[in-house]
Structure 1
Amino acid sequence: MKKDPTSRAEQAVLVLQGGGALGAYQAGVYEALNKEGIRPQWVAGVSIGAINAAIIAGNPPERRVERLREFWDGVSSQLLAPALSPGYGPLAHEIFNASSAALVALVGAPGFFTPRFPPAPFQPAGTPGALSYYDTTPLEKTLERLVDFDLINTPDVKQKVRLSVGAVNVETGNFRYFDSADATYTRPIGPRHIMASGALPPGFAPVEIDREFYWDGGLVSNTPLQYVIDQPTATDMLVFQVDLFSARGRMPRNLGEVAERGKDIQFASRTRLNTDLVAAQQKLTHAAQNLAARLPAKFATDPDLITLLNAGSPAAVTIVHLIHRSKHYETQSKDYEFSRHTVREHWEA
C-alpha cells in the first residue's frame, strides 16, 4: 500500500522555479507525484515554472501528464540527433548540448518562440519587435491548445487547482502575482498572464496586461515560495519546492564552466534566501505562539503580542525541497538547450 505524504496535510502545494529547458525536470517530478496519488490543490510558478503550472492547473488530473508530455515533446527538437549522438561519450555529449543550444538560438523552439525578422535593431523603436530577439506568438497558440483556462477560472473551488504566476512590472519594477484565487483581480487568467511570467529580456518582449507591461518574474524572484507562505491560511501545507538550479557544484575548470556555475549560484542563491527567510519566519511565529500560551490573560490584547502573532501564518508548513542536479557535461546554455534527448533526460532525472 502506498503511503500518502499529504495524509497529515490539508493542502499540497507545488512551487515551480524558472529555468527554461530545465523545466522538463518539473514535469517529471509532477509525473512521479501523480503516480503516488499526490494531487496539488495549489500550483505556483515563475517563468517556465508558470507554463508547467498552467498546464497542470488547466487540465483534469487524468490528462495533466499527457499534456505536459505534449508540451515538452512539442518544443524540443530532434534536428541534430541523427548527426551527433550524445551516446558517444562525455565530450560528444557536451558538443551535442552546445550545438543543440546554438541551433535553438538560431532558429528558435517549435511551439515556443521564433527569431524576429527583421532583427530587433531594424524594427521601429518602441514596438515589441524592437525590444526582443524572439517572437513568442507560437507560445500563445500552444497555451491556448494545451490549457483549459475556463477550468482555471471556474468559480467552483472543488473543481479547480489554484494557479499563481509571478511577473515584474517593466515601468515600476514592482513584482506581482496573477492569482486565480485573488478576488480583487476580476480579469480571468489567460495565456498572456503565463507569457508575462516567462518574458525574460532581451530574448522575449514584455507582455501587456491591463495597459501595463510585464517581464519575467525571475528578474526579481525566481521562486514563488515566499508568496505561497505569505498568503493567509489556517490550513496546514505540504509544499513541494522544485528548483532547477543547484547551489552546490564543482569548481569550474574553464570559462564555459565559470559561466554555468555563475548562473547556478545566481538563481539558486535567491531560492536559498527565500527558503531561509521562510524557515526563520516560521520559527518566530511558533515562538510567539508558545510565549502567548504562557503569558497571563491580561496580555492577550497587548498590541505588540498581537503584531508578533500576526507576523506569520498559524498553519504548519512542511517543505519538501527537490533540486535538479546538473550533469558534468552540461554547459552554460543548458537553460535553452531544447534537444529532445536532453529534455527527456531532464524529465527522467
Structure 2
Amino acid sequence: MQPTTGLILSGGGARAAYQVGVLAGIAQVLPAGTANPFPVIVGTSAGAINAVTLASGADQFIATVQRLEAFWRGFTSHQVLRSDWPGVVRQAMRFIRHSLLGIGDAVPVALVDNAPLGDLLRERLDLRGIDAALAGGHLRAVAVTAFGYTGGQAVTFYQGSDGIQPWLRHRRVGVPTRLDVEHLLASAAIPLLFAPVCIGQDFYGDGAMRQSAPISPALHLGAERVLVVGVSGNARGPSASVGAVGGEQQPSLAQIGGHLLNSAFIDSLEDDLELLQRLNQLGRLLPADVHSAPLGLSPVEVMVVSPSQPLDEIAARHRHELPPALRLFLRGPGATKTSGAGLLSYLLFEAGYCTELIELGRRDALAKQAQLLAFLGVAP
C-alpha cells in the first residue's frame, strides 16, 4: 500500500505562481486519468489559495491544475489590490492618518487595499468541492495556516476526514473548520502590506509569520511523505562568510523589506527541512518497534522542488508591468530598483511575471521527472 503523500505549498505572494508551474509539470507527466496524488494538501499565504483550489477539484487533479494555471496566467494587479490612482492615494492617506498619526477610527488598515482579491476568490472558487472530494475519497485533508495576532500562534485551519485530531503545540495549533475565503485572505495577509482579517474573535495575518514548523501540519493530517514546493530562488546551502559580500550603499526600505519577507517565507521552511533530515537520520538508527510507538521517530520521506533561478532577478525584468500608480507608490521605498526587487517579487501580480514563474516551475519539475514519479509511486 502506498504511503499517504502530502503536498506543502509555502507562502510568497506573487511567487506562488512558481508552485502552479511545478504542479503543471507534475500533471504533464502523470498518465491520463491519474487520481489526485496528494491526499493531504497544506498551503500558506498565497500558497493557501493554490492549496484550496487544488483540494476543491481533487476529483479531477489534472483538469484542476490546468484551470489553476489559466487563472495565474491571466493575473493582473488590479485583481489583487487597488492599483488605480484614486485607490492607491486613498489607501496611502488612510495608512498615514491612522497608523502614523493616530487619527481616525480603529479599523485595521495597511499600505495597499487588497479587497479586489476577496471579490475575485468569492467569484472563482467553489469550496463545496472540498466536501465532494472528501466524500469521494480523493482527499484526506486540506489546511491553511494563518498567524493569530492576539495569541501569537500559528493556527492551522483544516477541513478533513473523520478521525483527524486537533493538535496543540508550542505556538502552533490545529483547528478543524469549514474553510472559506476569509481563511485564505487571512493566510495571505502580508503584514503592513495587507490588512489583517477577522475570523471569530481574533485578527489573523500571513501564516508564514512565526511558523516554526511548516511541515508539521501535513504530518498531523496523516501524511507519511511530503513534497515541498518552495519559493526560494537561492540554492539551499552554507551562507557566504561575513565580509565576503559587501557594499557601500545604504540598503533601501524595499531591500530591507525583501529580506524580512524572505526570513518569514523561506528561512523557517528551510530550517524545518534541515531538522526533519536530522530526525530522519536518527530514526533510521532506531529499532523498527520504536517507529510504531507513540511519538516515535518514523522517518518521513521528503522531496523538495524549488526555483533554479533567482526570482528577484526575474521580477526586476518585469517591473515595467506595474500599473503607473503602483509603480510610483513603490518607487519611493526602492522596490522598482534592482536592489529592491526582492520585495517586488512578492507583489508583482502581473501576467508576464507570473507566466515566467509558471514556465520556470514547469521546467524545474520536468528536470526532476524521474525522481517525482518514483517519489509518487507512479510507473513512468
- Normalised by the size of structure 2, how large is the TM-score? 0.67
Structural mapping, 1:258-273, within 5 Å: 259=256, 262=259, 266=263, 267-273=265-271
Separation in structure 1 between the aligned mates of residue 136 and residue 270 of structure 2, nearest angstrom: 32
Separation in structure 2 between the aligned mates of residue 74 and residue 288 of structure 1, nearest angstrom: 51
The answer on whether the counterparts of 1:252 and 1:258 sit within 8 Å (CA) in structure 2 is no
Shift of 1:323: 1.1
Separation in structure 1 between the aligned mates of residue 65 and residue 218 of structure 2, nearest angstrom: 24
Residue 126, structure 1, aligned to residue 106, structure 2? yes
- Normalised by the size of structure 1, how large is the TM-score? 0.72
Structural mapping, 1:46-85, within 5 Å: 46-59=44-57, 60-76=60-76
In the other structure, the counterpart of 2:19 is 26
Separation in structure 2 between the aligned mates of residue 166 and residue 150 of structure 1, nearest angstrom: 20
Classify 1:9/1:244 alpha carbon distance in 2 versus 1 (closer, same or farther; 3 Å).
Answer: same
Residue 240, structure 1, aligned to residue 227, structure 2? yes
Separation in structure 1 between the aligned mates of residue 52 and residue 246 of structure 2, nearest angstrom: 36
Separation in structure 1 between the aligned mates of residue 155 and residue 47 of structure 2, nearest angstrom: 15
Secondary structure of the equivalent of 1:134?
A: coil
Match of 2:207 among 214, 217, 224: 217
Give the number of the structure whose alpha-carbon radius of gyration is greater: 1
Match of 1:323 among 303, 306, 319: 306
Separation in structure 2 between the aligned mates of residue 52 and residue 222 of structure 1, nearest angstrom: 21
Match of 2:79 among 98, 104, 111: 111
Structural mapping, 1:100-249, within 5 Å: 109-114=77-82, 115=87, 117-118=90-91, 119-122=94-97, 124-128=104-108, 131-154=109-132, 155-156=134-135, 158-160=137-139, 162-181=141-160, 187-221=177-211, 224-229=214-219, 231=220, 233=222, 236-237=224-225, 239-248=226-235
Shift of 1:275: 0.5
Separation in structure 2 between the aligned mates of residue 208 and residue 337 of structure 1, nearest angstrom: 26
Classify 1:164/1:232 alpha carbon distance in 2 versus 1 (closer, same or farther; 3 Å).
Answer: closer
In the other structure, the counterpart of 1:285 is 283
Structural mapping, 1:294-333, within 5 Å: 309-312=293-296, 314=298, 316-324=299-307, 325-326=309-310, 328=313, 330=316, 331-332=341-342, 333=344
Classify 1:262/1:207 alpha carbon distance in 2 versus 1 (closer, same or farther; 3 Å).
Answer: closer
In the other structure, the counterpart of 2:353 is 342
Separation in structure 2 between the aligned mates of residue 183 and residue 57 of structure 1, nearest angstrom: 20
Secondary structure of the equivalent of 1:203?
A: coil
Query: Per-residue CA shift, 1:26-69, capped at 9, x if unaligned?
Result: 00000111122273222111101111111111123243123313
Unmatched segments (≥5 aa) in structure 1: 1-7, 77-108, 293-304
One-letter amino acid of the counterpart of residue 40, structure 1: F
Classify 1:313/1:258 alpha carbon distance in 2 versus 1 (closer, same or farther; 3 Å).
Answer: same
The answer on whether the counterparts of 1:45 and 1:223 sit within 8 Å (CA) in structure 2 is no
Shift of 1:334: 1.4
Secondary structure of the equivalent of 1:245?
A: coil
Classify 1:224/1:322 alpha carbon distance in 2 versus 1 (closer, same or farther; 3 Å).
Answer: same
The answer on whether the counterparts of 1:46 and 1:222 sit within 8 Å (CA) in structure 2 is no
Secondary structure of the equivalent of 1:44?
A: strand
Separation in structure 2 between the aligned mates of residue 146 and residue 40 of structure 1, nearest angstrom: 22
Shift of 1:16: 0.8
Query: Per-residue CA shift, 1:4-35, capped at 9, x if unaligned?
Result: xxxx8432321111111111110000011112
Classify 1:319/1:259 alpha carbon distance in 2 versus 1 (closer, same or farther; 3 Å).
Answer: same
Residue 36, structure 1, aligned to residue 47, structure 2? no
Separation in structure 2 between the aligned mates of residue 243 and residue 186 of structure 1, nearest angstrom: 25
In the other structure, the counterpart of 1:85 is none
The answer on whether the counterparts of 1:24 and 1:344 sit within 8 Å (CA) in structure 2 is yes
The answer on whether the counterparts of 2:54 and 2:64 sit within 8 Å (CA) in structure 1 is yes
Query: Per-residue CA shift, 1:227-253, capped at 9, x if unaligned?
Result: 223x174x742x211111145488576
Classify 1:210/1:263 alpha carbon distance in 2 versus 1 (closer, same or farther; 3 Å).
Answer: closer
Separation in structure 2 between the aligned mates of residue 203 and residue 326 of structure 1, nearest angstrom: 23
Secondary structure of the equivalent of 1:75?
A: coil
Classify 1:268/1:160 alpha carbon distance in 2 versus 1 (closer, same or farther; 3 Å).
Answer: closer
Classify 1:258/1:120 alpha carbon distance in 2 versus 1 (closer, same or farther; 3 Å).
Answer: closer
Query: Per-residue CA shift, 1:194-249, capped at 9, x if unaligned?
Result: 111111111111111122211111111287313223x174x742x21111114548
The answer on whether the counterparts of 1:281 and 1:312 sit within 8 Å (CA) in structure 2 is no
Secondary structure of the equivalent of 2:78?
A: coil
Query: What do you get for the CA RMSD once the two structures are aligned?
Result: 3.1
In the other structure, the counterpart of 1:83 is none
Classify 1:232/1:161 alpha carbon distance in 2 versus 1 (closer, same or farther; 3 Å).
Answer: closer
246-255 vs 38-47, which moves further: 246-255
Classify 1:176/1:137 alpha carbon distance in 2 versus 1 (closer, same or farther; 3 Å).
Answer: same
Shift of 1:161: 5.7
Separation in structure 2 between the aligned mates of residue 167 and residue 23 of structure 1, nearest angstrom: 16
Separation in structure 1 between the aligned mates of residue 191 and residue 151 of structure 2, nearest angstrom: 16
The answer on whether the counterparts of 1:46 and 1:198 sit within 8 Å (CA) in structure 2 is yes
The answer on whether the counterparts of 2:43 and 2:145 sit within 8 Å (CA) in structure 1 is yes
Give aligned pairs, total: 290
Residue 276, structure 1, aligned to residue 255, structure 2? no
